[in-house]
Structure 1
Amino acid sequence: MFKTLSGRFLFLTVIFVLLAEVFIFVPSVARYRQDYLSLRLERAQIASLALLADGMISDSLEKELLDNAGVFNVVLRRDEVRELALSSPIPSPIVATYDLRDDGAVTLISDALSAMFTKGNPIIRVIGNPVQDGGLLIEVTMEQGPLRQAMLEYGLNVFILSAAISIITAMLLFVAVRTFLVAPIKGVVRAMSVYAEAPEDARRIINPTASVAELREAEDALRSMQTQLTGALKQRERLAQLGEGVAKVSHDLRNILTSAQLFTDRIEVSTDPVVQRLAPKLVNSITRAVHLCENTLAFGRASEPPPNLTRFALAEIVSDVIDSERLSAGDYDISFAEDIPASMTVRADSEQLYRVIGNLVRNARQAIMNTGDSGEISIQASEDENRWRIVVADTGPGLPMRAKDHLFQAFHGGASKGGSGLGLVIASELIRGHGGQLGLLTTGPEGTTFEIILPKSDFQIISTET
């Protein structure tokens, strides 16, 4: 029972109410003792007035008056000269004297606790003020045993009443908590369980109905999370289907390109100067297309192959990219510039780096072509002791807002209009596989600049398995 929220709440409520009653119990017992002693003083005063009226009473009447008052003797001081007294034998010496005239709350509580925990039946003296201005003071001698017994009975009654109040209060709160808190929480848990059975089913998304503000916030947050998760699952399903289709297309395309590669081998032996100049580029393009298909198939198996690190001249890769993109630009007024030191060699995967630079230059070219204006694309490279730095800049219109917000997220809008964004995602993944970084430096109406950082130091190839 105490493992549940309502059970623990019931238990804690009983404990807290009993603790509150303890703080009330001690002053109330002290007050009960004071009233008990004050009543004895009043009865003793009334008994002494009988002696004042008659002047002389019999021993039997005196004993009866003292028994009714519950005391052994009475001293009533009415003025500085005269004292009236009723007396009877005291069975034992007086062990304590209590003055009720000016005791504070702390003293009354301390005396009350002492009386409750003092066993036996000791004789005590009690001093107080007479009622109705009946004298200067009144003093009685009495047994403490009856007082202790009365206090214990009173304490027991208070405890029973406190326990009853605690249980009733706890049960009422238990029912309230079960109704207004536990039941809605169980409803949220059931909704989560139902949704977990088929998270792709939008009909299972929770419909917030809680009237408690905090629970309503929790339900709203859960609904938002479920909505996003359902959308993500649907998108992942579409991506899986798309990946399967791309893998099939890449497989067939690879076979076609392999056949085309065989024909290019025959073209290379041609003596035509133009053919000799263009044939190597055609061969390189077909070779890269074959490699791309093979890599796509590998990507369809949820892994990008680790880079095959070799030393090569960066200028050759950049020159191939620019030559290819210059042909694609056609009649558009787009100029290309490269500032690559001829002696600079980088340690990377040449095919993957070609894909990265080619993607950046292709995006820049398409952005300029979409404007219909002239533009320039430049590639610069530099190095220091720790890294190689490649900068690809253009004078295009800049990236759209959606592309900037989701730059390296697939299917959230690419750099070009209508693009999927896969190119930059793959490019970033390839550079991270080298232990480097691909980042956006600037973008705006004056153009866009990307930066590629490749480390020179030895590093562990980052696995991109998903």
Structure 2
Amino acid sequence: MNLPSPDINTRFSGLSSKLIATIIAVIMLVEIIIYLPSLASFRTTWLEDRLRVGIVAARVLDAVPDVMALPRDLTDRLLLSAGADAIVYRRDGQSQLIELTEPVTPERAVTADLRQRDLPSQIAGALDTLFAGPGRTLRIVGEGDSNESLVELLMPEDPLRRDMLDYSRSIVLVSLGIAAVTAFALYMLVSTLFIDPVLRLTANMLAFRKAPENGALILNPSTRRDEIGILERELAAMESELFALLRQRRHLADLGLAVAKINHDLRNTLTAAQLLSDQVATLDDPKVQRLAPRLVLTLDKAIGFAQSVLDYGRESVLPPQMTPVPLRALVTDAAFEARVTDNPSLVFDNNVAEDFQIYADAGQIGRLLVNLLKNGREALEGLNGDAPDRRITVQAEAKGGEAMISVIDNGPGLPPRARENLFVAFEGSVRSGGTGLGLAIAREIAEAHGGRIALATVEKGTRFDVVLPLGQPGA
């Protein structure tokens, strides 16, 4: 499958732009960390160069006898080479001064002591010089070339500050160049390994979402063995399964529509046949009297089968509309609809308390109860004619925030085949010729309410337990 390659706007947006910005920010942060010691080293070297001139001047002073004075042109050249206003040489408690012809009186002075070699002090001094305003006088203090001698230089700080600013600009330009080249190189590497595959997966998901029935859009995974490769293979497998499920759903929908039409026509035909069988049953012919009940029973089963299939196809897929429901009245209505209360051969016990309420969709829970009560009635009607005390009981109790509704009959119980696929449509029928749709619908309704339905183990008969949340979800 060939997908359109991402355009330039897509490539440099989203993850790409964040990646580039992060790389540049990290590199600039590293450069700043490196820049501060480098700037301090530059300032120290600059000061040491000026101090060396002061040491040379001190040597000259040592070479000249005390009774002689240095020529003015020599002192001026020494001061000019150091860029200083004055040089002070201290040794053995004595001080010697070399200054300009016109002495300069500093208004603001700051001391740079080169005897302090620790990095924090050097960084602090560099930042102080860099961010200080113009017009300060710098006092450079350092050791001379002989024991216990000091050399001091007084000079304007502005030349040092200008040189530091030029050095900083150079560092910034070099740092930006390094950051740009490094960011581009890393981006191309990361883009090839990660960004491009992610963009490919994103484009595939967007395209497949628009047309999931198009098998040509199923992702063709690469042979990568890392997490990206795993993601590609899992996405391709998911899209293949979804494609197959959608095709199956369409086929089932078409088949269901055809079955619904067939069932509708078949039910009408069977209803007409049932009317004819009722008329035939009134004839006096002994053969007719013997065969007519079987014919009527067979037609009833066929009509019931067609009706159950239609009901299952019309089953609502809407979520339940939760309201407080008095359970006892709901059970009474369901028993009447399932033809339990008006059946002279059955005894029905509604043991639900008058004030027992559940929070549920009354219509859907009513259908659930009708299906369970109908199964119980059919099981009891299948007993021998002389079977005593055919009884169906409904009871309810609250347990730990849940309502457990039990539908119990004292019939013959369920056969093993029905227990194996109890809640599977068309497979879990509890009687011969049934569809198993009633219990499948009951399970769907219970699960839609956040509950469950299960077959309980009893010594005799059948008992279904429906467990539902007792109160409003989230309350």
Shared fold (TM-score greater than 0.5)?
yes
Any idea what the Cα deviations from partners look like across 1:124-179, whole Å, max 9, x if unmatched? Answer: 21212235x55432211111111111111111111111111111111112212321
Does 2:135 match 1:118? no
Residue in structure 1 matched with residue 408 of structure 2 by the alignment:
391
Does 2:450 match 1:440? no
Cα distance change on mapping 1:107 and 1:302 into 2, 3 Å:
same
Asked if structure 1 preserves the Cα contact closer than 8 Å seen for 2:90 and 2:150, the reply is yes
Identity %: 31
Give runs of aligned pairs for residues 136-215 of structure 1, distance below 5 A.
136-193=149-206, 195-196=208-209, 198-200=211-213, 204-209=217-222, 211=224, 213-215=226-228
Does 2:72 match 1:72? no
Distance in 2 between residues matched to 1:351 and 1:302, nearest whole Å: 10
Cα distance change on mapping 1:290 and 1:310 into 2, 3 Å:
farther
Give runs of aligned pairs for residues 294-333 of structure 1, distance below 5 A.
294=307, 296-297=309-310, 299-300=312-313, 303=316, 310=333, 312=335, 317=340
Distance in 1 between residues matched to 2:265 and 2:342, nearest whole Å: 30
Residue in structure 2 matched with residue 373 of structure 1 by the alignment:
none
Residue in structure 2 matched with residue 86 of structure 1 by the alignment:
98
TM-score (ref. length: structure 1): 0.70
Does 2:146 match 1:129? no
Give runs of aligned pairs for residues 266-281 of structure 1, distance below 5 A.
266=279, 269=282
Q: What SS does the aligned partner of 1:75 have?
A: strand
Give runs of aligned pairs for residues 95-110 of structure 1, distance below 5 A.
95-102=109-116, 104-110=118-124
Which letter maps to 1:101?
A: R
Which letter maps to 1:21?
A: E
Query: CA shift at 1:30, angstroms?
Result: 2.4
Give runs of aligned pairs for residues 233-244 of structure 1, distance below 5 A.
233-244=246-257
Query: CA shift at 1:6, angstroms?
Result: 1.8
Distance in 2 between residues matched to 1:318 and 1:436, nearest whole Å: 30
TM-score (ref. length: structure 2): 0.69
- Picking from 13, 25, 33, the partner of 1:23 is 33
Asked if structure 2 preserves the Cα contact closer than 8 Å seen for 1:48 and 1:76, the reply is yes
Distance in 1 between residues matched to 2:347 and 2:450, nearest whole Å: 21
Which letter maps to 1:63?
A: D
Cα distance change on mapping 1:309 and 1:152 into 2, 3 Å:
same
Residue in structure 1 matched with residue 465 of structure 2 by the alignment:
451
Residue in structure 2 matched with residue 428 of structure 1 by the alignment:
443
Any idea what the Cα deviations from partners look like across 1:35-72, whole Å, max 9, x if unmatched? Answer: 21122112210222123234453211121122112222
Asked if structure 2 preserves the Cα contact closer than 8 Å seen for 1:396 and 1:448, the reply is no
Asked if structure 2 preserves the Cα contact closer than 8 Å seen for 1:396 and 1:447, the reply is no
Cα distance change on mapping 1:128 and 1:272 into 2, 3 Å:
farther
- Picking from 18, 21, 36, the partner of 1:11 is 21
Distance in 2 between residues matched to 1:124 and 1:453, nearest whole Å: 89
Cα-Cα RMSD: 5.2
Cα distance change on mapping 1:379 and 1:16 into 2, 3 Å:
farther
Residue in structure 2 matched with residue 381 of structure 1 by the alignment:
393
Any idea what the Cα deviations from partners look like across 1:59-91, whole Å, max 9, x if unmatched? Answer: 11121122112222222334x245454333432
Residue in structure 2 matched with residue 37 of structure 1 by the alignment:
47
Which letter maps to 2:21?
A: F
Cα distance change on mapping 1:414 and 1:192 into 2, 3 Å:
farther
Cα distance change on mapping 1:62 and 1:354 into 2, 3 Å:
closer
Query: CA shift at 1:352, angstroms?
Result: 7.9
Which letter maps to 2:465?
A: E
Query: CA shift at 1:250, angstroms?
Result: 0.7
Query: CA shift at 1:11, angstroms?
Result: 2.8
Cα distance change on mapping 1:159 and 1:134 into 2, 3 Å:
farther
Residue in structure 1 matched with residue 358 of structure 2 by the alignment:
none
Distance in 1 between residues matched to 2:129 and 2:368, nearest whole Å: 94
Stretches of structure 1 that go unaligned for 5 or more consecutive residues are 324-337, 365-377, 460-466
Query: CA shift at 1:398, angstroms?
Result: 7.5
Any idea what the Cα deviations from partners look like across 1:222-273, whole Å, max 9, x if unmatched? Answer: 1232133123213312321331232132123212211222124325646899
Does 2:63 match 1:53? yes
Any idea what the Cα deviations from partners look like across 1:255-311, whole Å, max 9, x if unmatched? Answer: 221122212432564689999999889768756754653564465456499999847
Cα distance change on mapping 1:162 and 1:350 into 2, 3 Å:
closer
Distance in 1 between residues matched to 2:369 and 2:404, nearest whole Å: 15
Which letter maps to 1:51?
A: L
Cα distance change on mapping 1:172 and 1:229 into 2, 3 Å:
same
Distance in 1 between residues matched to 2:55 and 2:263, nearest whole Å: 115
Residue in structure 1 matched with residue 244 of structure 2 by the alignment:
231
Asked if structure 1 preserves the Cα contact closer than 8 Å seen for 2:332 and 2:350, the reply is no
